[in-house]
Structure 1
Amino acid sequence: MAEPRPLPLDPIGEAHRQWTEHGWGDVADGMATVTSLVRAQQIVMARVDEALRPSGLTFSRYELLMLLSFSKRGSLPMALASARLQVHPTSVTNTVDRLEAAHLVRRVPHPSDRRATLIEITDAGRKLVDQATVELNEKVFAHPGLPPDRLRLLLGLLAEFRSASGDFDSGDTPTQWG
């Protein structure tokens, strides 16, 4: 993948300047923060997609395979997978459909709840997710773009934002990042 050529100026910084100039200075920091987060997500996902390309996995398929590989039995109920991945059940169903077609997971009946279906990772799924993890670790996670002390600061700030947004209940317990 060719390295992108940097722009001669920060477009988000320029948008901040314009926001302020147009009388919206009181919300310019919020606009720039949201826009920066969206742009950062685009940058990160481009790197993730590039690292996953050889495996043929998308990030959502990778996440589900990793979730299953981390589970004690290599399987989880569909509803629990949806909750843990924080995605709608329909998204999990679509992801499972594609992974099942590729023989990376299978649906199995729940042993004690006839209404529930388990998603179970196959040996091929384990092998592929292990290979994809090596690529992600080497090409993305080992060098995310900030030094370790700045990463911990960012992780703490993002955890604080996510908790304040109702993403999870942190209670009075400090996060592991700060």
Structure 2
Amino acid sequence: MHPPLAKDPIAEIQKNWERQGWTSAAAPAAAVTAIMRTQQILLGRARDILKPFKLTFARYEVLALLGFSREERLPMNKASQLLQVHPTSITNAVDRLESAGLVRREPHDSDRRAMLLVLTPEGKQVAEQATRALNEQLFEHTGFEEQEIDQLNTILAKFRQRAGDFPS
């Protein structure tokens, strides 16, 4: 982490947009840039927390998803849909998790073309420990105030809905 800057670079972006005459785009440009920077900050924190578990956030999400499923197993295409990632991305994550012994692939009982992802006992243990660490070090200490989190969740859910992430 680098030392804080003397002034907010995103506020400067907004001013620059306005100086260029793009006043209607200035505040939205600042908002988009702020969201992207916030994502970088939060992903960096998550990366540091997950490093001792030898997990990326993407791999953690696969483990957590399997841990939340009733039978700790899901068809690979269903996991890809629920995580909203391309099948290639899930394959890469699963390859790494499988080589670490945290998940295994099994043939689907009723669909020979499909593959099931199964959480191993070691995977379950790592998922639980990583979740505890994320809860204690990030999710319970995001830097947002409680009322801000509720507002943020509402705003972002409305945006994601309008973007087609899920139906109304």
Name the SS of the counterpart of 1:76 in structure 2. strand
Distance 1:83 1:34 in 2: 25
Number of aligned pairs?
168
1:65-118, Cα deviation, whole Å (9 max, x unpaired): 000011111100010000000000111111111111001000001111111110
1:5 CA displacement: 2.1
What is the aligned partner in structure 1 of residue 156 from structure 2?
Answer: 158
What is the aligned partner in structure 1 of residue 23 from structure 2?
Answer: 25
What is the aligned partner in structure 1 of residue 134 from structure 2?
Answer: 136
Distance 2:82 2:91 in 1: 14
Please point out which of 28, 33, 36 is paired with 2:34: 36
What fraction of aligned residue pairs are identical, expressed as a percent?
49
Listed as ranges, the gaps of 5+ residues in structure 1 are 172-178
**TM-score, reference length from structure 1:** 0.92
Amino acid at match of 1:159: A
Name the SS of the counterpart of 2:21 in structure 1. helix
Matches within 5 A, 1:30-109: 30-109=28-107
**TM-score, reference length from structure 2:** 0.97
CA root-mean-square deviation: 0.9
Name the SS of the counterpart of 1:131 in structure 2. helix
Distance 2:95 2:46 in 1: 22
Amino acid at match of 2:94: V
Structure 1 stretches of 4+ moved >2 Å: none
